[in-house]
Amino acid sequence: MHTGFSVEFDHAWLAGRDFPRERGRTLLRLLAELAQSGSLREAAQRAGVSYRAAWGALGDGARLFGAPLVDMQRGRRASLSALGRRILEADEHVRRGLGEQFERLRVEIPALLADALPGARPRLALHASHDLALAALAEACARSLELEVVIRGADESLAALARGECDLAGFHVADALPRAAAAAAALGRWLDPRKHTLIHFVTREQGLIARPGSRIRGVHDLARPGVRFIHRQSRGAEGDTQSVADAVAAGRADAGFGLRADATRHRLAFTPLATERYFFACAKGALRGAAFKLLLDALASPAFVKRVARLPGYDASHAGRREALDAALTWVGRP
């Protein structure tokens, strides 16, 4: 969720008597730069402090820990002492340990505050692979929730969620039968069962779309000489994204894998092969926020379910149901 404020954290941990955390930040920054450059003057410049202040920070650090943090010898490059190196290792340990928690809290805190902000309409950012039912969802949410939908690839959407760039990631398993393993791999690469959960969106019928009169009724017919097969959606002459059904209807291909709804829209032949499931992934903690409650209400609404049912091959009867990540790893259901 994106609002007018931002949630910011830092990893400051080094402090002591007469040594405030801001001083600790400066010292850690200076040690890191010194480890790279070997020159105190250059390290001070990169750390944004004067040469004199750099000397002062190193002296304060040595008194704080009771030993020098840097080895300085005339005519030789400056280097960190064993203690100085260990302090940098401790800083990296803190950053690794807190970074994951900070990312989770950056998502959860705005969601928890949303319903208390004056005059603010809750907003969710959804990065998702293309699906015909997304328009129905945006319409169902329009009165109570601002749903920002960004269409991108499934793997890109999941990566954006992992980086905290969106609130939900939409993906389907799988957009073509040979790619089911790739979808499963993307889940393992970007999502954590301890942090993330799934929301069921829709199921949709996937199969073989063919040009009428082509006598293509199954996968085995694709091996016939002269059959033009298209693997996935492509770019049209004007740069717009075109589905497999668009390409077949335009005569650029004889067949390809696609959705029953697309085939019906273009009056093309369709042979069912599998039932795909489309999920939204999100942070578990974010579900407690007002925006997600509104989203779940919209998904479960009779109006949304009824509108999706008008799409051939689609079913939204389980929309809004929470599921564990491994629900998407059972590949695709067979008709």
pLDDT at residue 332, as a whole number: 41
Token code pair at residue 112:
């928890």
Question: Same structural domain for residues 84 and 163?
Answer: no
Shortest CA distance to 117 belongs to which of 290, 323, 234? Answer: 290
Residue 10 is assigned to a structural domain of this protein:
no
pLDDT at residue 213, as a whole number: 82
Shortest CA distance to 271 belongs to which of 285, 259, 286? Answer: 259
Structural domain ending residue among the three candidates 49, 81, 106:
106
Per-residue pLDDT of the chain (335 residues; tens, 9 = 90+): 444 667 788 888 999 988 999 999 999 999 999 998 889 999 999 889 999 999 999 999 999 999 999 998 776 788 999 999 999 999 988 887 787 677 667 766 766 776 676 666 788 999 998 888 998 999 899 888 888 888 888 889 999 999 989 999 999 886 444 455 566 666 778 888 888 999 999 999 989 999 888 888 888 888 889 889 887 654 443 334 457 888 888 888 899 988 899 899 889 999 998 888 999 999 999 998 889 999 999 999 999 999 999 999 999 999 999 998 877 666 444 44
Question: Same structural domain for residues 35 and 152?
Answer: no
Question: Same structural domain for residues 86 and 37?
Answer: yes
Type of residue numbered 31:
L
pLDDT at residue 276, as a whole number: 87
CATH of the domain at 34: 1.10.10.10
What is the 8-class DSSP label of residue 77?
-
Question: Same structural domain for residues 61 and 169?
Answer: no
Q: Which helix (H) or strand (E) covers residue 197, if one does?
A: strand 196-210
> 34: which residues sit within 8 A by CB, 6+ positions away?
40, 43, 70, 78, 79, 80
Question: Same structural domain for residues 285 and 149?
Answer: yes
One-character DSSP codes across 203-230 = EEEEEEEE-TTS---SGGGGGSTT--EE
Domain count of the chain?
2
Residue 176 is assigned to a structural domain of this protein:
yes
What is the 8-class DSSP label of residue 333?
B
Residue 250 is assigned to a structural domain of this protein:
yes
Angle between helices 40-47 and 21-37 (to 10 degrees): 130
The phi, psi pair for 64, rounded to 5°, reads: -65, -40
Structural domain ending residue among the three candidates 54, 81, 106:
106
Question: Same structural domain for residues 179 and 314?
Answer: yes
Residue 111 is assigned to a structural domain of this protein:
no
Long-range CB contacts (within 8 A, 24+) of 94-103: 94/11, 94/13, 95/11, 98/9, 98/11, 99/11, 100/195, 102/9, 103/163, 103/164
Structural domain ending residue among the three candidates 54, 78, 106:
106
pLDDT at residue 335, as a whole number: 43
Range of the domain at 297: 123-329
pLDDT at residue 239, as a whole number: 39
Question: Same structural domain for residues 36 and 170?
Answer: no
Beta pairing, strands 146-151 & 322-323: unpaired
Residue 11 is assigned to a structural domain of this protein:
no
Residue 91 is assigned to a structural domain of this protein:
yes
Residue 56 is assigned to a structural domain of this protein:
yes
